[in-house]
């Protein structure tokens, strides 16, 4: 259960980063 917990934390990281890049990083930014 604890390992699955960390896997889910990582999944949320990936989802969050994709959302963050899509919504907040303007085109042309690095």
Partner 1 sequence: MLTDSNVLLWTVILLLIGYFGLVTWIGRKGKQHSRSMAGFATARGKVNPWIVGASFATSYASANLFIGVPGLAYQYGTAVLWYTLGCFGVSWVALLLFTKTFWRYGKKFGRVSTLPEWLGKRYNSKALQALVSILILFNVYYIVGQNVGLATIFETVIGIPYTWGIVIGVTITILYIGLGGAFAQIVTDGIQGIFMAITSVFVALSFLWTIGGGWNVFGELTSKLSAIDSNLTNAVASGGPYNSVLAIMAVQFLLFSFVLMPHLLNKVLSIETEEELAPFTLSAGIVLCIIATLMVLGGLAARVLYPSLESADAAIPMYIIEAFPAVIAAFMIVGIVSAILSSTDSLYLGITTSIGNDLYRVLAPLVMKKERSAEQLDRQALKVAKGALVAIGLLSLYFSLERPESLSILIQFSFSAIISGIIAPITLGYFWNRGNNYGAIAALITGASLYVLFTSQNLIANIYMAMFFSSIASYLVMFFVSTWTAKEEAPAYRFKKSV
* 3 belongs to the binding site for partner 1 (CB under 8 A): yes
Asked if 9 interacts with partner 1 (CB under 8 A), we say: yes
Counting contacts by CB under 8 A, is residue 30 touching partner 1?
A: no
H helices of the chain, where?
A: 2-24
Work out the end-to-end distance of the chain between its first and last CA atoms, rounded to an integer number of angstroms. 37
Residue 27 interacting with partner 1 (CB under 8 A):
no
Distance between alpha carbon 6 and the CA centroid of its chain, in Å? Answer: 14
Residues found near partner 1 in the complex (CB under 8 A): 1-3, 5-6, 8-9, 11-13, 15-16, 19-20, 23-26, 29
């Amino acid at each position: 259960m604890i390992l699955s917990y960390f896997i889910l934390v990582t999944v949320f990281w990936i989802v969050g980063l994709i959302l963050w890049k899509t919504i907040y990083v303007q085109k042309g930014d690095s």
